[in-house]
Amino acid sequence: MNLALFDLDNTLIIGDSDSEWPKFLIKRGILDAEHHARQNDYFYEQYKAGTLDIYEFLDFQLAPLTRFSRSELDTLHAAYMEEHIKPIIPQKARDLLAAHFAQGDEVMIITATNRFITGPIARELGVEHLIAVELEEDGQGNFTGKPTGTPSFQAGKITRLNEWLAARGETLDSYDKVFFYSDSRNDLPLLSIVSNPVAVDADATLKAHAEAHGWPVITLRD
């Protein structure tokens, strides 16, 4: 059996679910557009440069979740899926996932975005296994605005994947092939240890690295 790992943002979707969520909240008057855009640009430049402080970013990105009950957030997320996410899922991404399902591969999304945002997206794509940033909850099931465990970002994706495999009594060597599809230089640590790395609509750094190492470079854009 093979294991097929997929990054989510700018890989399986044409955009970034972390960025689409605040756009959705701004449209509803929940966030201040100017302040959020300024902070988001600050963090996005760090992300592109590979220098993002994931904990500083999470403090910023998770703060709005503390303003609502879990039921209110779930209602908002349902609208967010319809308005912001489903329109940016390309058919080629669905087709690639379907091809791996048809081969009997184990399929997983592994993302640096939090589980609240990405869980429903994984379900929409038919993907059972998800590694994402986990969120702390209070005694009533509401979010505190803090992450728990190791964030699944850069080398943290390797840590979290190894934890998932160990819980199943497996290692990467348990699989005939391990694919990882990603667009980002931030995923080079995990891309470099799997048997079948694939650059998908890659940033300049990842594309250059992939071409230098003979990795497939593909697009999932329709």
What are the beta bridge partners of residue 109? Answer: 6, 130
Nearest to 220 by CA among 103, 95, 105: 95
Query: Which of the residues 7, 16, 183, 203 is marked catalytic?
Result: 7
What pLDDT score was predicted for residue 183?
A: 98
Number of domain units in the chain: 1
Q: Which residue has 């986990």 as its token pair?
A: 134
Q: Is the pLDDT of residue 90 over 90?
A: yes
Task: Say whether 222 is catalytic.
Answer: no
Give the pLDDT band of residue 130 (cuts 50, 70, 90). very high
Q: Is the pLDDT of residue 184 over 90?
A: yes
Q: Which helix (H) or strand (E) holds 180?
A: strand 178-182
Look at the alpha carbons of 157, 159, 165, 167 in this order and tell me if their dihedral is positive or negative: negative
Task: Say whether 7 is catalytic.
Answer: yes
CATH code for the domain of 86 = 3.40.50.1000
What pLDDT score was predicted for residue 41?
A: 82
3-state secondary structure of 128: coil
Q: Which residue has 């939090």 as its token pair?
A: 114
Q: Which helix (H) or strand (E) holds 61?
A: helix 54-62
Q: Which helix (H) or strand (E) holds 23?
A: helix 17-27
Encode pLDDT of 93-118 as tens digits: 999 999 999 999 999 999 999 999 99
Q: Are 114 and 61 spatial neighbours (Cβ–Cβ below 8 Å)?
A: yes
The structure tokens listed for 84 are: 């912001």
The parent domain of residue 113 ranges over: 3-218
What pLDDT score was predicted for residue 43?
A: 85
Q: Are 206 and 192 spatial neighbours (Cβ–Cβ below 8 Å)?
A: no
Encode pLDDT of 186-207 as tens digits: 999 999 999 999 999 999 999 9
Q: Put the strands of the sheet holding 106-114 in their side by side order.
A: 143-148, 129-137, 106-114, 3-6, 178-182, 196-200, 217-218
